[in-house]
Amino acid sequence: SRTKMQIHVRDTKNRMDRYTVLSKRCLDILTQYWFEKGRPRGILFPNKFTGNYLTVSTLEQVMRRAVSEAELPAGATPHSLRHSFATHLMEQGVERQNIQALLGHRDPKSTEVYLHVSNKSLMGIQSPFDRKEGAGHE
């Protein structure tokens, strides 16, 4: 949905369709691509030979090229990008239930794997002892 800045993810690994957030920048790129391809319906990125979904090997090739062009660490994978997405959402204060919905997890334990506590989020925590007035020795 253009107005809600969401994208509908269908036919997922666990067969759980969902909506997830879509950045304005990505929306602009996808819109341009969509118009260039003649406003296709159905699969947005079809296999150019079969018209069906892309193969795993094609996705791996596209990922390697994108990682190189974006100057990401060589070992970046779709999974590591997904993990980073979830971590950044957590650091922004997004509720875990919302992150779970965005990732399409049925079981909250699946989401916990992505939500490690980063050093960055620990940096802003003040000790309760320091917040107490008059703390310390006289």
Give the model confidence (pLDDT) of 38-48 as tens digits: 998 888 889 98
pLDDT interval class at 12 (50, 70, 90): confident
Which one is predicted more confidently, 115 or 134? 115
Bridge partners of 20, per DSSP, are 7
Indicate yes or no: pTM above 0.75. no
3, β-bridge pairs: none
- What is the per-residue pLDDT for 62? 92
pLDDT confidence band for 117 (50 / 70 / 90)? low
* Cβ atoms within 10 Å, residue 3: 5
Q: Is residue 96 packed enough to be buried (19+ CB in 10 Å), middle (13-18) or exposed (0-12)?
A: middle
Half-sphere exposure of 78 toward its Cβ, with a 13 Å CA cutoff? 7
